[in-house]
Amino acid sequence: MALQKWTPKNIEKMFEDLFEESFIPSNWMRIPSLKRLKALEEFSPSVDMYDKKDELVIKAEVPGMKKEDVKISVTDDVLTIKGEMKKEEEVKKEDYYYSERSFGSFSRVLNLPAKVKADKIKAKFDNGLLEIHMPKANESKPKEVKISLQ
């Protein structure tokens, strides 16, 4: 097993992973009153964020959604992705064998590791994949400083 340097960002991922799992054990879902608690769980899109030399790139999976149902905003160093997953048809509860898909509103808030040029952000939505390109502000780009040796 390889060692990995701990950074404060890792703790955010650890808490996201911890709360990603359901608090309700699957075998308890046979109890009718607990089935309703499953509806309280919130859909949250899976996200990748990576650094290119001059920009940050975020990719979020939002399958089954239309681009009109997704909203993106940036405030300071925080990116917010909001949307609503709509149910396409109404089916009576007693007609279901399985009901595992999530519907409803979601909001995903991401702390950005660098300042970005908010007015230059470009987003593309294609086949359930949201891709956001955020150019870094000049003060966020790494600067090379040459030091003369004596």
Which tens digit of pLDDT belongs to each residue from 87-108? 666 667 677 777 666 677 888 9
38, 26 in Cβ contact below 8 A? no
Look up residue 90 and give its two tokens: 């109404």
The per-residue pLDDT for range 74-91, each reduced to its tens digit, is 988 899 999 887 766 666
60, 45 in Cβ contact below 8 A? yes
Backbone angles phi, psi at 48, to 5 degrees: -115, 135
Look up residue 50 and give its two tokens: 């990576």
- What mean pLDDT, rounded, does the chain reach? 77
Cα–Cα distance measured from residue 128 to residue 114, given in angstroms and rounded to the nearest whole number: 26
pLDDT recorded at residue 45: 85
70, 130 in Cβ contact below 8 A? yes
pLDDT recorded at residue 39: 47
pLDDT recorded at residue 67: 86
Please state which CATH number belongs to domain 45-86+102-138.
2.60.40.790
- SS3 of residue 13 by DSSP: helix
- List Cα–Cα distances, 4 to 50, 52, 149, in angstroms: 18, 21, 34
pTM of the model: 0.63
CATH 2.60.40.790 spans which residues of the chain? 45-86+102-138
71, 83 in Cβ contact below 8 A? yes
